[in-house]
Each structure stands twice: as structure tokens, then as C-alpha cells.
Amino acid sequence: MTPVEELRAAAARVREAGKAATDGPWRSYSGRLDAETGPIAVTLNGARDSEWIALASPVLAEPLAAWLESAAREYVTVDWTDCPTAARALAVARVIPRSWALHLTPGTKLLNANNRLHHAPKARITAALRAAGKKAAEDARVPAMLRAHIYGLYSPPDRRRRDVGNLYPSFKAVIDGLVDAGVLPDDDDTHLIGPDMRLGAVIPDGQLALLIVELAPLTEVIPYG
């Protein structure tokens, strides 16, 4: 993404999250967060965390989004080296988490590590899941990134006890599709954390979903050399 695209994407993310959250202002009371409608959260580490979270209540979303969009316009019209305000805004944009949720069609045939399939049907299901992952990423316009944490959610068709870890082959095939779509350069440990698999609520026919959370490149977290 270009700097302008990063600024605009961050503005859209802030505005979308602000609209979806409980209306502000939020206030902190000894580790508890309250909105005008009543309590909304309790922080595990007490007042210091709740005070910080209250500062970032949804009332901040629109002014922050407008500032990021203004910086994007400034970058378009002014040489980047001559617009320190836009440079500061870009630094803010780059620490705002970006995430995308992808959902496969309910009832999609999955691979289970407990099932001993013949090579041919296993290969067909793997290819179908890989293609479904690629299409879902393209439909959602998930951009290219260098590193991500991916959560895998399986919503079963009933309440029978399950070990979601047995669906690893399914999640792996879908993530291979993300690589095919150009979302990640590879699914090795320098580019991917996960899939971090969880069981979700019951959905008729069952459904597999991914939450992709962009991370900073590993070299920015732990510099090499």
C-alpha cells in the first residue's frame, strides 16, 4: 500500500470501529469503564488501563479519522519531505491494527486429521479449500502484508464435543489460499502466527472462518544483525 492508501485505510478502520462501539464518552472508575448507558467493561489491571482506554472512547473516532484523511490529502498535494504533519499521521496509521474476517460457505467440506482419507479425495478437498481461501481473500480485498496473526474459528453444526485442533489440515489449506492470493509471502513462522484455532457458536451445516490481524514485520520487532 502507498502512504496515502495506508492513511485512508486507517481512517476508515477508525471510523468503522467507532460507529460499532458503545457511544461515548467513556469514563473510568477504579478499573471499570462506563458509558452513559451503563457499565461496558472491567480491566484486569485496574484504573491505569481503564483510564487509558477511556481516553480512546468512540468520541475520538471521527476527529481522528478526519485528521488522517486530511494528512492523506496533504501528502497528495505536498512533497512528503515538506509535510511533517502527514509524516506523524502516517506513524499513527501504522500502529492502528488492521483486520479482516473471512467466512467460507456453511457446509463446505472440511479435512479432519482423524479421518483417514485416500489420497485422491483428500487432494480434492484440499484443493477446494485452498481455492475457497484465495477467493475469500480476493472478494474481501485483503491487501498484501508481510506478517499476520491468523485466528481460525470453526462454528460446528451441533453441540457435540469436538477438538478443533483436528481441523488443522482445513485451516492450513485455506491459509495456503491466502498465500496464493498474495496476502502473505509465505506461511512460515517469519510471516505467520497461527492458525490460532477456536470453536465458535453453533451454525447450521457448520462454518469455518478466519480473522486476519496484520502485524509489523518481524525485523521491526526483533532487528536482525
Tell me: the pLDDT tens digits for 154-192? 999 999 998 999 999 999 999 999 999 999 999 999 999
Lowest mean pLDDT segment, chosen from 120-134, 155-169, 209-223: 209-223
Q: Where are the domains of the chain?
A: 3-93, 99-221
pLDDT for the residue numbered 150 = 95
Measure the CA–CA gap between 30 and 42, rounded to whole angstroms.
9
Buried b (16+ CB within 10 A) or exposed e, 107-117: ebebbeeeeee
Percent of the chain with pLDDT over 90: 48
Measure the CA–CA gap between 149 and 212, rounded to whole angstroms.
6
Measure the CA–CA gap between 92 and 68, rounded to whole angstroms.
9
Measure the CA–CA gap between 223 and 125, rounded to whole angstroms.
40
Nearest to 48 by CA among 60, 31, 26: 31
Residue 224 — very low, low, confident or very high, per pLDDT cuts 50/70/90? very low
Q: Which residues contact 144 (CB under 8 A, 6 or more apart)?
A: 1, 182, 183, 184
pLDDT for the residue numbered 107 = 95
Residue 43 — very low, low, confident or very high, per pLDDT cuts 50/70/90? confident
Any bridge partners for residue 34, and if so which?
Answer: 27, 39
Residue 1 — very low, low, confident or very high, per pLDDT cuts 50/70/90? low
Lowest mean pLDDT segment, chosen from 93-102, 120-129, 162-171, 204-213: 93-102
Question: 112 and 208 in contact (C-beta within 8 Å)?
Answer: no
- Is the pLDDT score of 141 beyond 50? yes
- What predicted TM-score, i.e. pTM, was given to this entire model? 0.67
Architecture of domain 99-221: 2-Layer Sandwich (3.30)
